[in-house]
Amino acid sequence: MTSSKSWPCAALPNAELGAKTTMHVGGAAQWLLEPATPEELREAIAAARELGFVPRILGGGANLIVADGVLPGVVITTDRMKRIFRPSQGHGGSETLREDLLPTHALAPTSREEGLELVAWSGVTLLALLRSAQKLGWSGVEALAGVPGQVGGGIAMNAGGKHGEMWDVVERLLVVDEQGNFVELPRAECNPSYRNANLGGLVVASALLKFKLSTAHAVGDSIRDYLAAKNRVQPVTEWSAGCVWKNPDPERSAGRSAGMLVEQCGAKGRVRGDAQVSLKHGNFVVNRGNATAQDVLGLIAEVEDIVAHKSGIALEREVKIWGA
């Protein structure tokens, strides 16, 4: 890893991004910064802003398509921010938000019946979060079984499905604002909606998550059930960026999901280069191995045209696209 003296954390010039996304397409970032702590994240954002860059934040890259070529500016990955821990005290009405969200309290509660809270830095994978909750026998994130990505990305996207979503457990956030300052956000001051936390330019550094007491056995059973259901209908073993489109308002679409619309309009299985609309699920575009971002983005645009033409419904993208 090459470090640059001008950045407050590990930094790589011309860093390939495609392999850092689940779609495996796209070019390189002019700069990739790799903070390892919330404080380094804050400093990295401030440093990028001082140089006139609006940094892009990369989590697990599981809902992201990066365009081919060089992406100018700064990408900050949260990949190294992997701490998850139990805070040592309750948080009801606590005035010490920032301190509570940082791992300053060495003492964790002793019993699993106490606290029911976890603090997760933004780079903790959703899988690691599920495993921690399952081990403690705490319920709240089972519906995220099989959803790839990280806590920060999961919060930003309000990841989930019909059985539950990320914001079901969010109690409080430590975010970095556009000036590079920490801001503490209680749940009541946030306005998450379907697949969008509406955070504007705020970057999630750390989250306080609240669970319900259950048993490891019950949580494990739910995780297995949700995983099995997901595996049945989604192309989980192929390269993709998850659902490309949000489900339209059921009143406008007569209850049809985005995937159903794509299928009914005859676009399921459609191919462009090595990109294909999944044969398993019409809302997924998969990279069959050698697709370029141009193939993927061209196919997405084609499908949108077909659906608009045949159904009159304009599909809205859920997937984020950088650089196109």
Ligand X SMILES: Cc1cc2nc3c(=O)[nH]c(=O)nc-3n(C[C@H](O)[C@H](O)[C@H](O)COP(=O)(O)OP(=O)(O)OC[C@H]3O[C@@H](n4cnc5c(N)ncnc54)[C@H](O)[C@@H]3O)c2cc1C
Residues that bind ligand X (CB under 6 A): 22, 56-64, 78, 122, 147-150, 152-154, 156-157, 159-161, 195, 199, 203-204, 234, 236, 240-242, 320
- Rounded to the nearest angstrom, the gap between the alpha carbon of residue 251 and the centroid of all alpha carbons in its chain is 28
- Among residues 142, 171, 243, 265, the one annotated as catalytic is 243
Residue 296 Cβ vs ligand X, minimum distance, rounded to whole Å:
13
Closest residue to ligand X, judged by C-beta, is 153
Identity of the residue, 115 or 168, whose beta carbon is nearer to ligand X in the bound complex: 168
Nearest-10 crossing angle of helices 216-233, 126-136: 150
Residue 134 Cβ vs ligand X, minimum distance, rounded to whole Å:
18
Q: How far is CA 180 from CA 32, 54, 76, 121, 177, in A?
A: 17, 11, 13, 17, 5
Identity of the residue, 35 or 115, whose beta carbon is nearer to ligand X in the bound complex: 35
User: What would the two tokens of residue 305 be?
Assistant: 């045209």
Residue 5 Cβ vs ligand X, minimum distance, rounded to whole Å:
25
Residue pointed to by tokens 């079901």: 168
Question: What size, in residues, is the chain?
Answer: 324
Identity of the residue, 86 or 195, whose beta carbon is nearer to ligand X in the bound complex: 195
Backbone phi, psi, residue 9, to 5°: -150, 180
Residue 172 Cβ vs ligand X, minimum distance, rounded to whole Å:
15
Identity of the residue, 128 or 236, whose beta carbon is nearer to ligand X in the bound complex: 236
Distance CA 15, CA 18 (A): 9
190 is catalytic: no
318 is catalytic: yes
Residue 146 Cβ vs ligand X, minimum distance, rounded to whole Å:
7
Identity of the residue, 71 or 311, whose beta carbon is nearer to ligand X in the bound complex: 71
265 is catalytic: no
Strand ranges inside the chain, DSSP E: 10-16, 28-34, 56-58, 64-66, 70-77, 84-85, 117-121, 138-139, 160-161, 164-165, 170-176, 182-186, 203-210, 212-213, 239-240, 271-272, 275-277, 285-287, 320-322
Q: Which residues are catalytic?
A: 195, 243, 318
